[in-house]
Structure 1
Amino acid sequence: MNTTPANQKTATIIPIAGGKGGVGKSLIAANLAIVLARLGHKTIGIDLDLGAANLHSCLGLSGGTPPGLARFLRSTDQAPLESYLARTPHRNLHLLAGDEGNPFLAQLNVAQQRRLVQQIRALPAEFVILDLGAGSSFSTLDFFRISQKGLLVTTPEITSLQNLMNFLKNLAFRVIEHSLPQDRSIHRKLQTLYTSPLEFKSDQPSLLQTLLNPLDPEITEKVLSSWQQFRPRLVFNRGLGPDDLSIIPELEKRLRDQLDLTIEFIGYIPEDLAVPNSLRQGRSLMSFASTSNAGQDMIRLARRVLRLWDQPIPDSARQLQQYTHRLYSESSSQ
């Protein structure tokens, strides 16, 4: 349907992004959707990795990419997005597939994007999981802005964290760009800042303040108010042990100092051979090895989402660090 009925609760939309490819974003999107569906929640997965769709593979669908997003965008009959959903092997879970290998989907025009966002918001589901593209294209940033509490996936390596920080930097400037009055000089400065890297280990001047300092204080207050509503949640993937999380204080400090941003930490998925083995078998991780270490932590992540998504997560860094230490201590004593 094109509008959400008054008695239908609005879906919780969870956009999932990563600063770079190869961090396991699609795998986490797929298996989070599966677990939420298994727990009895009507869930829809949408592949918005435009031009490089593979969510269907991570869900264990065979026989090629089902028709979905590309057909919706090309349609002229105004059929609702809901009519393009495909069934999956998982109860309570439907998929809006992307269009594998179609480069023409990579950049949507403003009208297409607006129509798609409007239709996503109206989908009849409890949870809508958006698997976004790697990197920081404007389309990816705009889809991530659908929610103020999107999910970010990173591995613990410095290179991955560097890309994560630059994604958040570009997200900040995209949010700010849409909050500012039209001004050619501000627009030029934004274009420069989009291409200015945010270093993980340096004391460079705050890029946010570089943009905001010359502005009228009233405009600055409005812009910061808009940006500070965002509170992304972070999942560490392919972890090797509790020491991975020793980087958290430095990450928090850099994001606070450079971007005036607080993030929350919601999950940790260990490196696990069950993950590549499930992909080789053409099956989802939860169907192939739900009792594996990675599978069990996916279940824990889904339960945290159900319990904590609509509220602040106080002291989230310490909670995740303590949980990870406890988990590895228990496994080493067995």
Structure 2
Amino acid sequence: MKSRFVYFIPSLLMAALAIALALFGLMKYDAAEEAQKALSTGSESGTTAPEAEQAPVYRYVVAVHPIEAGDTLSAESFIEIETASPIEGAIAVADVPYDLTIETALEPGELLTAQTLEKQSLIRQIVPDGHTAIALEMSGVASIGGLLKPGDFVDVVASFKGRADGESSSKTLLKSIEVLAVQGETTVGSASSDDERRRNSTMVLAVPEEEVRALVLASREAQLNFTAVKRSPVVIADPEAEKPEAAEEETAIFLSDLIPEAPRAPQRSATVERPPEDPGRKVQVFEGSEARNVYVQ
């Protein structure tokens, strides 16, 4: 009898544990059902949980193929883009004036802006603030062998011929000057006829206003050469950091600095030493009031 009771105890404990788990599950089920009922009741009464605040999204349009001046804007010419921050001057998708004829060309990937729709000259659009557009004659040498394109940057080197006793000299007149147009083209790959390109053999530079007079004077008094340079990226310096020292101004190079000096010949003595005369061979002959010397072997 006692041994049967011992074997019965584990079964009793397992049964008690099963009953406890069943009661716990029933309580959880009731709590979840009450929460579901409260949520459904709130939705029926029109009160919903506060939605998470979403960041604003700005939508603009970008050209997908070249649009020439005089073309009419159409939805097929653009694709929409989204940004998390507004773009100054850009036209929103809802404000794009489709069926409008524009007077400014658009390149693929270019954003449609209010400036594009304004009726203003091409010079006003491409010349940066504080700069002046200056056209210069362009040859095969000046165009860097024909490789010069709009958007490149060049250094302007001026070579001056010597006058009177002056020497020929050369110096870098301007640095990192942007090329606005080449043979009348303001963008790479613009459609221009060969005849128009031949008639317009010029390049247009964006020159800082304070350097305009120097360039105009040098273009008349000197020979100008152009060297293509790779513009270094603009680095925004830390306002609290120390400002770098200004680079020393480049000095002019004179012709005498380039011509090597000829080797100097050894200097000879001005007086030539003569061997001493042998007085034993010298005979002095007197003829009246005159006298002459005669050397006897």
Q: TM-score, normalised by structure 2?
A: 0.21
TM-score between the two structures when normalised by the length of structure 1: 0.19
Structure with the larger helix share: 1
More strand per residue: 1 or 2? 2
